[in-house]
Chain A
Amino acid sequence: MTFFVVFFILIQLGSLTFMAAAIYSLFKYIKQFRFDPSDYNLLFGFLHLRQICALYALLTIIFFLYATFFFIKHYGNF
């Protein structure tokens, strides 16, 4: 395996690990702070933190999958 492949794998793993750690930290926060939702503590009046976490996880996984597909397509030589 070349340096290029190793570095790419490290970036991908780092990205997924960071996402997991961020979501874990946020769910701990959501359990500690249980506020009734209102126009003034939700983003734009309706977006809860859980929905933002779900969007973050979804986009990270989509980006991870597409980056891996792109890498394999244009550099298939391991």
Chain B
Amino acid sequence: MDNSDKHFKGQLKDEKIICTFRRHWIVIFPYLFVLVTGLFIFLLFVFLEPTLNISPLTAWYSQLLFLTLFLGITYTFHRIFVHVFNYYLNVFIITNLRIVDIDRTLFLRDRRDTFNLDMIDDVKKGREGIFQTLFNFGTLEIYLPSMNVYKRMSFIPAPNHYFRCICRIRQEYIDRGTMKHVILNPQHIQNIQEISEERDFENENAKIRAKKLDDEGL
């Protein structure tokens, strides 16, 4: 079955989506709160406006005040929705081959990170504090030895669930035998070489001592 671009642009032929998730709703809670409060104030103003006796906008200072307020309210209104849309545009995708982090905004940013499962060495999850425990969100950190960095994903809902998901699919990936190569940290490679040279040196010394003992008849 060819899954190319089936669910998202860039999906590979043999790639199946395990799960997708976005950040916890708490990241946009302040904007939603302002939106709801603003709507409430707007409705109140609409109903009370006939009783307020607002003077006509003929004087220059009343026009300036009106324009400033109108511009500010319009900007704030659009900005709140832009933040909500940006929340939807950031998504994490876990597939049977890799983890994809899509980080984009409405117009100005379009970034995508992918981490093949064989690049992942270590996965950590964290959930600390009252809010994180109460609302069940936290952080996931993935260690990538080839780059020697931790990829940090914060405000992840139900971090336990995705932690287990990543560990499970990585194990399945290894069991399938599709790990064609293991990428080692260059420091690890150097350590292995040094250990192997030491062992060769010790073996040579042991042979020389054994020969000496033979020659001395011991």
Contacts and interface: CB of A to CB of B under 8 A. Distances in A.
A49 B88 contact: yes
B17 interface: yes
A60 to B, nearest CB: 8
Interface in A14-36: 15, 18-19, 21-22, 25-26, 29, 32-36
Contacts of B74: 11, 15, 63
A22 B7 contact: no
B157 interface: yes
Interface string B37-68: 00100100010010000111110000100010
A4 interface: yes
Nearest to B80: A56
Q: Which of the four size classes fits the interface of chain A?
A: 35 or more
A78 interface: no
Contacts of B93: 35
A40 B57 contact: no
Contacts of A40: 19-22, 157-158
A75 to B, nearest CB: 4
B19 A4 contact: no
A34 B82 contact: no
Nearest to B55: A74
Contacts of B131: none
A31 B63 CA distance: 44
Nearest to A4: B63
Contacts of A75: 56-58, 63
Contacts of A33: 7-9, 91, 102
A43 B91 CA distance: 12
Contacts of A67: 70
B85 A11 contact: no
B58 A77 contact: yes
A41 B85 CA distance: 13
A69 B123 CA distance: 57
B179 interface: no
Interface string A42-73: 01100001001000100110010011001100
B77 A32 contact: no
Contacts of B106: 22, 25-26
Contact of A44 (B25, B42, B82, B91): B25
A43 B46 CA distance: 29
A38 B19 contact: yes
Contact of A43 (B25, B39, B89): B25
Given A22-B82, A36-B20, 7 more contacts: A22-B106, A25-B106, A40-B19, A40-B21, A43-B28, A74-B57, A75-B63
The 6 A-B residue pairs whose C-beta atoms are closest, nearest first, are: A40-B21, A75-B57, A4-B63, A35-B20, A49-B88, A56-B81
